[in-house]
Amino acid sequence: MGKLTSSDVGQIISLYTSPRSDGSFPTIAEIAPRFGVSTATIGRAINAAGISGTPRKGVKQRKLSAEDIDAIIRLYTTPLPKGTLRSTNDIATQFGVTNTCVLYHLRRQGVAIRTSGETQAGHAYRPIINKPPEGESPPPCKCGCGQLVEWDRKHKRWKQYADGHHRPKRPYHDGRWLHREYVVKGRAATALASESGVSINSICKALEKNGIKARPMGESLHLSGASRGVNNPAWKGGVAEWDYAFNWKSLTKSIKDRDEWTCQLCGACRKRWGYHLHVHHINEDKTDNREQNLVSLCSSCHRAVHSDTAIAEKLRVKLSHDYSPFKEMSYAGR
């Protein structure tokens, strides 16, 4: 931006105070580009000349008469032959006022202002569609109930579902039913999901929403019977024909202490195992409770050893090389 000379200031004042042929005055924004300066520079020059308070009457600052306001309301509310409606910008240009002036008088007269979706900007108008096309019948509900859907005025199309059919009320939505079936009766989440016709994720979310803690997979399998009896991979044909040693509880603790509370197959070690660290009979003879025949295994490895021959063989090889108590006895095999 350049600086103004005294000659430039004289020309600016002359332009600013001289009306044009239509009776309007040039604005500061129109004068500034001619002299290559900002509007703030023009404003300071005019203020220094003491003419900033000169009353001015621009083209878009005239007052509207009562007849003009009636004409604006009529143009705004009357559709064109093609079914489109005029925008406030077009009406403002026609009457030589600002868009804000047109909106002010429309609101003052109680006329409802259309949304931008109903009257698009940029002179690309479209008809307002608040009802379905003539002769078009509503389609049936997507859920398969056969009920006809309603017209969606917001999206200008038919709805996909009837009211209340998109997410119908299901039993698991009731927290009391969920607590009774899942906690009191001990039913699995998969069974509840199958009964309600939803995925297991929906049941899990409902449990969390109602403050019900989900059970571990092993506990659910045990309660449902999926891991008991013949369904258990370690099933041997019925009730065991042996009794555990009378001191089995203290014996298992001594074995776990000896193995430093570490699974001898995967090497897992915890400060608090709870019931997840087991004592396994190496030769699978439940009556042979010698310390050389007992080894600590985590619950996962213990199940794997009883259900997979390859994993059992892996344990035998590992113990024969790295486990000193095992070397003192012979392996009876499976």
**CATH code, domain with 55:** 1.10.10
pLDDT of residue 319: 81
Residue 86: inside a domain, yes or no? no
Q: Write down the H helix ranges in the chain.
A: 6-17, 28-35, 39-48, 66-77, 88-95, 99-108, 175-179, 189-196, 200-209, 217-224, 248-258, 299-307, 309-322, 324-327
Q: How sure is the predictor about 62, in pLDDT bands with cuts at 50, 70 and 90? A: low
Give the domain-ending residue among 18, 37, 61.
61
State the average pLDDT for the chain.
Answer: 79
For residues 18 and 38, give the distance between their C-alpha atoms in angstroms, rounded to a whole number. 21
29/265: higher pLDDT: 265
In a domain, 292, yes or no: yes
How many domains, in total, are found in the chain? 3
Tell me what pLDDT residue 225 has.
Answer: 67
* Element holding 295 (H helix, E strand): strand 294-298
Between residues 125 and 258, which one has the greater pLDDT?
Answer: 258
Highest-scoring range by mean pLDDT, 116-125, 127-136, 185-194: 185-194
> pTM here?
0.32
Look at residue 219 and tell me whether its pLDDT is greater than 80: no
Can you give the residue range of the structural domain that contains 191?
171-231
Tell whether the model's pLDDT for residue 223 goes beyond 80.
Answer: no
Mapped to the 3 state alphabet, what secondary structure does 92-136 carry?
HHHHCCCHHHHHHHHHHCCCCCCCCCCCCCCCCCCCCCCCCCCCC
- Tell me what pLDDT residue 121 has: 42
Q: Which of 61, 76, 107 is the last residue of a domain?
A: 61
Asked if residue 135 belongs to a domain, the reply is no
Closest CA to 129 of 114, 141, 144: 114
